[in-house]
Structure 1
């Protein structure tokens, strides 16, 4: 994974963008990015890279997004993959060199975000949050584009763009993941990211060519859209969902144990204070000086609060898996009823 160097690289990108000019930035008084416009060439590069990595190495594919900001839209016009982590080259120098070379050939070289492959909604992680935080604090308009290889292979093109919410950025700036801090920020797994709509743009010549190719496709090719072989995908989703539920259960056990220890410590602290008060009262009745006051917090040190960031992320993963399973089940049922109606019509025709 290439998350380790993203913090250093984002600062270098910021300096490179300033050196080569800057994309048109959205003033603070205007609305932020309302949608992402992605060129068809960039989409095809992302799809090709993600499928190659998932098929050959079963690894997460990542890359840089290049483009510019025009009014309230973010245009993604090009991209290039990150080098593999086992390569000998320096990742940061490689990417800066790619941006310089693209600039020389008059290609949009401004860094506007990054992309990552996913396997049926398993993209949400602490590493992704940290990486997008570094990007978004260095390049204000940057987005992360998630391409789901498994769903796309089943006929559901899944290309989504996300940005961190102001609450999530404030959470990372403070670096406090205690329950009180998260409650004050009013943040949960549903308010970590905000999805930005994506519009795929092709040139008129490309649209004409695609229309001609569509007419050339034989009619029998359309039967693949009635494929009912979604059992393997659902099985994988259910397995991942069970793993996340078990993980969330373990986090809940840890937090419950912490709460029990806090209650036990408070009881011990109260008993100690009552005992000390009784001892001082007995010494006062004998005209003896009271025992010296001691710092109760030093005797009973506060217990460290377990961070709640990881459980929140796991809860978000569970929610994502549940939504995907619901979507796949509804699609499968629709196909099942459709094929059943076709089968009944075929049998009725054969009977007649």
Structure 2
């Protein structure tokens, strides 16, 4: 599934409306009932500085006990699509999410594997719950070149010093790529033909202030993520305390050995051989910081969503208030 080499990454993603409908249909049929994550494969072609996504197909639901080969399934599907003259080039994958909780280790590993084998691949994240509140939540992400190089190293060091030296932070792990939805002229004509007139009582549905539940859920998830970061910070503080205590014991041991050797030399005796200090005091492993970075990135994502919902709610409130205060003059 390797792709041709290129010199630059896609500037934006152009996705057909049919692909969006397929993703939404897949999530409605398999994911919404139990809020289970659904995944699928994106097909298309890279043209100049854009990545065109023209088709997709879902991964079937299967249990862990089943012997399901995902790679074989993908190859068979793309082979069948090629036979019927449909775009079959693999350009990424899509996944559903709920309340924007998609930034985790699983997403990082999956996108790294895709991007390592298919250079231009992207991951589309679709949030059906957010879409029901008036937002079409469809975002495209790629790993940054710095993260690809660092994560693909022979032995990546996720200690604070290693991440600082590589310049890796939660802000430059993933990069969001703009998404443009495009329909053909025939599809646009069809939409104009089947468009039904909106009834008068339904014309103000966009003023519905039903985003409070979404705001509350996002705030709860944000609080849980902040608690995770706080727990991780406490672990790191405990590590620093243990490391400081161990360094003090090391210094005391070295000073004591130096005093003993000085006394032995003064008595004409041979000094004691030097010991491996790391054998006496085993180094304390540094807690990895990758999970903390991902949780911090998730917190940033929750904050952006809260800002979007709050801005929409304020706008609706101002519009509704203006409509209520406006008095209609009786016709003369």
TM-score, length basis structure 2: 0.93
Q: Which residue of 2 aligns with 1:109?
A: 88
Secondary structure of 1:324 counterpart: helix
**Structure-2 separation of matches of 1:302 and 1:55:** 48
Task: State how far apart, in whole Å, the 2-side matches of 1:53 and 1:235 are.
Answer: 26
Of 297-306 and 130-139, the range deviating more from structure 2: 297-306
**TM-align CA RMSD:** 1.7
Alignment partner for residue 307 of structure 1, among 277, 288, 295? 288
8 Å CA contact 1:164–1:194 kept in 2: the answer is yes
Measure, in 2, the Cα distance between the counterparts of 1:184 and 1:81. 40
Partners of 2:47 and 2:230 lie apart in 1 by: 46
The CA distance in 2 between the partners of 1:221 and 1:282, in whole Å, is: 95
How far apart, CA to CA, are the structure 2 residues paired with 1:107 and 1:253? Answer: 54
Partner of 2:79: 100
Q: Please list, as runs of the form range in 1=range in 2, the aligned pairs for 1:291-306 lying within 5 A after superposition.
A: 291-306=272-287
- Indicate the SS of the match to 1:78: strand
Q: Where does structure 2 lack aligned partners over 5 or more consecutive residues?
A: none
1:289 is the counterpart of 2:267 = no
1:160-309 counterparts in 2 under 5 A? 160-174=139-153, 175-214=156-195, 216-309=197-290
Structure 2 CA distance for aligned equivalents of residues 177 and 78 of structure 1: 37
How far apart, in 2, do the equivalents of 1:85 and 1:282 lie? 74
More helix as a share of residues: 1
Match of 1:3 in 2: none
Q: How many angstroms does 1:41 deviate by?
A: 0.8
Secondary structure, aligned partner of 1:216: coil
Is contact 1:83-1:91 (8 Å) kept?
no
Which of 83, 108, 132 matches 1:153?
A: 132
State how far apart, in whole Å, the 2-side matches of 1:287 and 1:199 are. Answer: 85
Q: Secondary structure at the match of 1:53?
A: helix
Structure 1 residue ranges, 4+ long, deviating more than 6 angstroms after superposition = none
**Structure 1 unaligned blocks of 5 or more:** 1-12, 15-21
CA apart distance, 1:55: 2.1
Determine the structure 2 residue equivalent to 1:10.
none
Q: CA deviation at 1:283?
A: 1.0
Distance 1:345 1:214 in 2: 31
1:84 aligns with 2:61: yes
Q: Which position in structure 2 is the counterpart of 1:4?
A: none
92, 101, 106: which is aligned to 1:127?
Answer: 106
Cα shift readout 1:301-321 (whole Å, capped 9, x = no counterpart): 211010000000010111111
Counterparts of 1:90 and 1:305, CA distance in 2: 38
Q: Please report how far the alpha carbon of residue 32 of structure 1 lies from its aligned counterpart in structure 2 after TM superposition.
A: 2.1
In structure 2, do the counterparts of structure 1 residues 249 and 349 end up closer, same or farther at CA, with 3 Å as the change threshold? farther
8 A contact 1:26–1:32 mirrored in 2: no
TM-aligned CA deviation for residue 91 of structure 1: 3.6
Q: Which moved more, 1:74-83 or 1:47-56?
A: 47-56
CA drift of 1:164 comes to: 0.4
- Give 1:32's aligned residue: 9
In structure 2, the partner of 1:327 is 308
Segment drifting more, 244-253 vs 207-216? 207-216
Asked whether the equivalents of residues 5 and 119 of structure 2 are also in contact (C-alpha less than 8 Å), the reply is no
Kept in 2: contact 1:171–1:177 (CA 8 A): no
Alpha-carbon distance in 1 for matches of 2:125, 2:320: 32
- How many Å separate the matches in 2 of 1:185 and 1:140? 22
SS at match of 2:326: helix
Note if contact 1:36-1:198 (Cα within 8 Å) is conserved in structure 2: yes
Q: How many residues matched? A: 326
- Paired with 2:138 and 2:84, the residues of 1 have a C-alpha distance of 28
Structure 1 residue 253: Cα displacement:
0.5
**What's the counterpart of residue 71 of structure 1?**
48
